[in-house]
Amino acid sequence: MIEELVVRWGYPAILVGTFLEGETVLLLGGAVAHRGLLSLPGVMLAAFVGSVAGDQVWFLVGKRAGRAAIDRRPRWKRHAERVEKWLARYGTAFVVGFRFIYGLRTVSPLLLGASGYSQRRFAWWNAVGAGVWATSFAALGWGLGAGLRRALGRDARWEELGILGVAVGVGIAILARRRSMPASTDTA
Tens of pLDDT, residues 17-63: 899 877 888 888 898 888 888 999 999 999 999 999 999 999 999 99
pLDDT tens-digit series, residues 7-29: 677 798 899 989 987 788 888 88
Task: Specify the pLDDT at position 116.
Answer: 85
13: which residues sit within 8 A by CB, 6+ positions away? 25
pTM of the model: 0.77
List the chain domain ranges. 2-180
Measure the N-to-C terminal CA separation of the chain; round to a whole number of Å.
Answer: 59
The one-letter amino acid code at 162 reads G
Polymer length in residues for the chain: 188
Q: CA-CA distance, 70 to 75, in Å (whole number)?
A: 9
Which residues lie closer than 8 Å to 7 by C-beta, 6 or more apart?
37, 38
pLDDT of residue 187: 43
